[in-house]
Amino acid sequence: MIARLALASLMARALTVGMTILAIALSVALFLGVEKVRTGAKASFADTISETDLIMGARSGSVQLLLYSVFRIGNATNNVTWESYQDIAARPEIDWIVPISLGDSHRQFRVMGTSQAFFDHYKYRQGRSLEIADGAPMEDLFDAVIGADVAATLAYGIGDPIVVAHGLASFTEHEDQPFRVSGILAKTGTPVDRTVIVSMEAIEAIHVDWQSGAQVPGQSTPVEVIREMDLTPKAVTAALIGVQSPLQTFALQRAINTYGEEPLLAILPGVALQELWGIVGIAETALLAVSSMVVVTALIGMMATIFSSLNERRREMAIFRAMGARPATILGMLVFEAMVMAVAGALIGVALLYLGLVIAQPIVDEAFGLWLPIVAPGLREGQVVVAVVGAGAIVSLLPAIRAYRMSLADGMMVKS
């Protein structure tokens, strides 16, 4: 009987009830949406670099090495000599190795020298490879491949010239050796999008006339002469390493960390990423707290709606009492109404979430490189629905208790 009475009462107040359900639905969709973005951002962060077993650089800290080698943030404390790089590269445990040279920039974007192996072995988002959206990889000495954000921000196209600046905040440019955009990478959502990629030989070429971080006065070697020179790198900033077998990873890491010729550091990217996320991940807690408050606000709004409707329903409650309804019946009916609204709102919220994911997934992936997976509702969604229904029942207790305490005389009294 309680269920029938409650449903009839809800239908009689369809507009008010519908608005309350919509508020709960939107708050649940927002909460779960924030959760999806949070987990998607964490997964994308962890997948910034994948299938790379070790990152090698000069001895510093693991987070610092990760920041400048992968995220292009900060600078290396020192470089790794080319002789040491070749010595490490010749070890039998190594399957592949990719050199990285950093230090120059182009209009606030980092310039990275590397080899063709970078395009072959750099993976992100659980094994996805880099793709050339337009043009082709470097073929000429002064070819450059640019990330999607570089191309979009600077409005660059294939064939456009690029003049590299010495250092990160330098007004000195390598004007005598301009590069040409040969390729534009597809959006990845990684720091590659904000990188200008050239060859290791090109990095050496633009520094032929430089010594100790400054250009030799009056010296300008013609490009034709530079092309004929031995442009073997003298040092690398870092290196990405893949091993023959995962079982050899720790042994190789130990060998690099104890290398006798110069102080080196090898880190596991996954471990360093987790350490870095522990530092920057406080934002996800704040985001989750804000979305939780939205749900709480919607539930409080539902309680306020029930309270405000009590004055209009005084006669209804009094009639129920006059017909012999027990206080528990009145209380149960109001709690049941709140639970029905909470269930309807939570389920509609879940539906809105997945509808939004279907629409937004390709847009967000294209614009931000953030992948939001669409999977069947799981434990997390179920927990949210149960929590919302339980909270709805709890917040309805106050107006329900007030309702069954209304006296019969007060309810039947006609007020002028």
Q: What pLDDT digit, counting tens, does each position of 248-270 carry?
A: 999 999 999 999 999 999 999 99
**Does residue 140 sit in the same domain as residue 262?**
yes
Q: What pLDDT digit, counting tens, does each position of 220-249 carry?
A: 788 889 899 999 999 999 999 999 999 999
**Does residue 137 sit in the same domain as residue 226?**
yes
Q: Give me the domain span that covers residue 161.
A: 54-267
Domain boundary among 200, 235, 267: 267
**Does residue 230 sit in the same domain as residue 313?**
no
Domain boundary among 240, 267, 294: 267
**Does residue 246 sit in the same domain as residue 369?**
no
Whether residue 180 lies inside any domain: the answer is: yes
Of residues 275, 273, 281, 370, the one with CA closest to residue 70: 273
CB-CB neighbours of 311 under 10 Å: 9
Q: What pLDDT digit, counting tens, does each position of 138-151 carry?
A: 999 999 999 999 99
* Range of lowest pLDDT (97-101, 131-135, 238-242, 380-384): 380-384
Mean pLDDT of 65-94: 93
Whether residue 23 lies inside any domain: the answer is: yes
**Does residue 193 sit in the same domain as residue 328?**
no
Amino acid at 183: G
Domain boundary among 212, 244, 267: 267
Whether residue 275 lies inside any domain: the answer is: no
**Does residue 388 sit in the same domain as residue 334?**
yes
**Does residue 229 sit in the same domain as residue 366?**
no
**Does residue 79 sit in the same domain as residue 112?**
yes
Please give the model's pTM, rounded to 2 decimal places. Answer: 0.74
**Does residue 96 sit in the same domain as residue 133?**
yes
Q: What pLDDT is attached to residue 184?
A: 97
Amino acid at 288: L
**Does residue 216 sit in the same domain as residue 143?**
yes
Arithmetic mean of pLDDT over the chain: 84
For the chain, how big is the Rg over CA atoms in Å? Answer: 32
Whether residue 243 lies inside any domain: the answer is: yes
Q: What pLDDT is attached to residue 333?
A: 78
**Does residue 287 sit in the same domain as residue 141?**
no
Whether residue 38 lies inside any domain: the answer is: yes
Whether residue 28 lies inside any domain: the answer is: yes
**Exposure string over 101-131, b if 16+ CB within 10 A, otherwise e:** bbbbbbeebbbbbbbeebbebbbbbeebebe
Q: What pLDDT is attached to residue 314?
A: 66
**Residue 407 clears pLDDT 50, i.e. is over it:** no
Whether residue 277 lies inside any domain: the answer is: no
Q: Total structural domains in the chain?
A: 2
Q: In terms of C-beta density within 10 A (0-12 exposed, 13-18 middle, 19 or more buried), how is residue 289 classed?
A: exposed
Whether residue 274 lies inside any domain: the answer is: no
How far, CA to CA in Å, does 189 sit from each of 34, 271, 365? 19, 20, 8
**Does residue 21 sit in the same domain as residue 148?**
no
